Amino acid sequence: MSQHYDLLIRNASIIDGTRAPRFAADIGVRAGKIAAIGELKGAGAEREIDATGLIAAPGFIDVHTHDDRLLFSDPAMTPKVSQGVTTVIAGNCGISLAHAPAHAAQTPPLDLLDGDGGWFRFPTFAAYREELAARPAALNAACLVGHTTFRVAVMDRLDRPATSAQIARMRELARESMAGGAIGVSTGTAYAPAASAPAEEIIEVCRPLTEFNGLYVTHMRNEDAGVLDSIEETCAIGRALEVPVVISHHKTVGVRNHGRSTETLALIGQKMREQPVCLDCYPYIASSTVLRDDRLAQSTRIIVTWSKPHPEFNGMDLDEVARRLGVSKDAAVAKIKPAGAIYFMLDEQDVQRILSFDETMIGSDGLPHDAVPHPRLWGTFPRVLGHYARDLKLFSLETAVYKMTGLPARKFGLAGRGVLQAGAHADVTLFDLHTIIDAADFQHSTAPAKGIHTVLVNGEPVWAHGKPSGARPGTLLTRAGASPRS
Ligand code: ZN
Ligand code: CU
């Protein structure tokens, strides 16, 4: 008797997310899961997709996002599903919607999540989780909660270390989040509101991570001259808490530090032999965050991504803004803040070296609410596949897929994700190896990528025929084995 499936993908070339060489097979999907992979010629299905000439890969996992609010404000998650992404890790760089008080909108970089503050209305992680359950998005999410958010919620002044009473309150926020299904805590000591937090504060706030086996994820204090010290600090925090650490968007910024990824990767490699460490990277030589004057000297070019008082400058080079205002660049920065920017301050060789490092995962760091966002928001994954793997041959396509599927699923503890195997959840991306490429660039920053054919989340198509399907099968993912140790 032949098998019957909800959905049958026929004649695919399968890259399964484990780094194994591709192979030809059919995929049978039933009840949101992969029921079978192999030669399924005799089988029938409610729906069939002919994938002749296409690659079938596990849906991509965007390990570094600021999508906390996009999950609600654009539940189709178009910038992500159009790239083949089926899971996002939200709450990075120390900032999360959960626990942010309404006045957080006045504290950069929290304004990256919501410049008006209307979304800062989740006093607990449970409240955030419940709203996501009530209004699911097209793709899955796993959430970090931010130490900077805790500070803004608990402290009256941010320019000093927290008192022991404040630490105790922040630790309660961390515990509530972990008990409610967050996968870890992120920090952003590179930013003013958390820069005065010493490692001891972070360790004491993050104590619940030990109990829940959560992740410590960090936008490190320094990615400039002090980058090696920052790696040491990050690893020391991980050792003190006995939890894995994730170094976010690893890079060495500023011309003086170009080439230093040889040093940082050597140090990270050494640490990996002693404790669990992992890292992610986006495939561009320009970074992006709020507009800050300390980036002026380090950047060869700056583009304004948004400005609250001067939206007419959105998308314009800072040089041109200064010319139009008839002032210096420093004065222009002061005039147009609060604002965001793109900074050209990385070295292509460093980007390639970090991307090629065996344990590097792919994370977009896309900023979905910027008026003219960095193109990484719409282009990261097809750029790694099409530009770096296919065209530059930096690594095999199997390795590229692994860096965005099997590797992050294992590091983040997302059970049944990141691989195409019988029994796994049916998060599947079909793409055309010959045409896949990012289309977003610094002139057309929100152009959808090319070559993504169909994207399934939990067995349901969320992207097909070049547009979102309208389905909302996403769920909140928790970290496997993250039950309290007790
Ligand atoms: Zn960051
Ligand atoms: Cu970030």
pLDDT digits (tens, 9 = 90+) for 312-353: 999 999 999 999 999 999 999 999 999 999 999 999 999 999
* Shared-domain flag, residues 248 and 196: yes
CA distance 69 to 143: 12
* Shared-domain flag, residues 154 and 92: yes
Structure confidence at residue 330 (pLDDT):
95
Structure confidence at residue 486 (pLDDT):
36
Q: How far is the CA of 138 from the centre of ligand 2 (A)?
A: 22
What backbone torsions phi and psi does residue 439 show, to the nearest 5 degrees? -110, -20
Q: How far is the CA of 338 from the centre of ligand 2 (A)?
A: 18
- Residue 479 inside a domain? The answer is no
End-to-end alpha carbon distance in the chain: 49
pLDDT digits (tens, 9 = 90+) for 448-465: 999 999 999 999 999 999
- Residue 44 inside a domain? The answer is yes
Q: How far is the CA of 64 from the centre of ligand 2 (A)?
A: 6
* Shared-domain flag, residues 228 and 356: yes
Q: Which ligand is nearest to the CA of 64?
A: 2
Q: How far is the CA of 23 from the centre of ligand 2 (A)?
A: 36
* Shared-domain flag, residues 430 and 403: no
Domain boundary among 342, 366, 386: 342
Q: Which ligand is nearest to the CA of 190?
A: 1
Residue pointed to by tokens 């966002």 = 373
Q: How far is the CA of 365 from the centre of ligand 2 (A)?
A: 5
Q: How far is the CA of 89 from the centre of ligand 1 (A)?
A: 13
- Residue 77 inside a domain? The answer is yes
- Residue 144 inside a domain? The answer is yes
pLDDT band at residue 482 under the 50/70/90 scheme: low
For residues 129-147, average pLDDT: 98
* Shared-domain flag, residues 45 and 152: no
Number of domains in the chain: 3
pLDDT digits (tens, 9 = 90+) for 402-439: 999 999 999 999 999 999 999 999 999 999 999 999 99
Domain of 297, CATH number, reads 3.30.1490.130
* Shared-domain flag, residues 164 and 262: yes
Q: How far is the CA of 45 from the centre of ligand 2 (A)?
A: 42
Domain of 181, CATH number, reads 3.20.20.140
**Cβ–Cβ < 8 Å for 210, 242:** yes
CA distance 302 to 296: 8
Q: How far is the CA of 264 from the centre of ligand 2 (A)?
A: 19
pLDDT digits (tens, 9 = 90+) for 67-120: 999 999 999 999 999 999 999 999 999 999 999 999 999 999 999 999 888 999
Q: How far is the CA of 223 from the centre of ligand 2 (A)?
A: 13
Q: How far is the CA of 425 from the centre of ligand 2 (A)?
A: 27
* Shared-domain flag, residues 275 and 300: no
- Residue 193 inside a domain? The answer is yes
- Residue 33 inside a domain? The answer is yes
- Residue 481 inside a domain? The answer is no
| Of 106-115, 192-201, 231-240, 269-278, the least confident | 106-115
Q: How far is the CA of 315 from the centre of ligand 1 (A)?
A: 21
* Shared-domain flag, residues 42 and 68: no
List 476's β-bridge partners, or say none.
141
Q: How far is the CA of 16 from the centre of ligand 1 (A)?
A: 30
* Shared-domain flag, residues 353 and 332: no
Q: How far is the CA of 94 from the centre of ligand 1 (A)?
A: 8
Q: How far is the CA of 224 from the centre of ligand 1 (A)?
A: 14
* Shared-domain flag, residues 350 and 225: yes
- Residue 418 inside a domain? The answer is no
Domain boundary among 326, 342, 358: 342
Asked whether the predicted pLDDT for residue 1 surpasses 60, the reply is: no
Q: How far is the CA of 248 from the centre of ligand 1 (A)?
A: 7
Q: How far is the CA of 408 from the centre of ligand 2 (A)?
A: 16
Structure confidence at residue 231 (pLDDT):
98
Q: How far is the CA of 93 from the centre of ligand 2 (A)?
A: 5
Q: How far is the CA of 369 from the centre of ligand 2 (A)?
A: 13
Domain interval for residue 296: 288-342
DSSP letter string, 359-428: TEEE-----TT-SS--THHHHHHHIIIIIIIIIT-SS-HHHHHHHTTHHHHHHHT-TT-SS--TTSB--E
Q: How far is the CA of 289 from the centre of ligand 2 (A)?
A: 8
* Shared-domain flag, residues 31 and 150: no
Q: Cα 39 to chain center, whole Å?
A: 35
pLDDT digits (tens, 9 = 90+) for 45-75: 999 999 999 999 999 999 999 999 999 999 9
Domain of 464, CATH number, reads 2.30.40.10
For residues 232-254, average pLDDT: 98
CA–CA distances in Å: residue 465 to residues 29, 49, 455: 20, 12, 10
Q: How far is the CA of 290 from the centre of ligand 2 (A)?
A: 11
* Shared-domain flag, residues 34 and 92: no
Q: For a pLDDT cut of 70, what percent of the chain falls above it?
A: 99
Q: Which ligand is nearest to the CA of 90?
A: 2
pLDDT digits (tens, 9 = 90+) for 203-237: 999 999 999 999 999 999 999 999 999 999 999 99
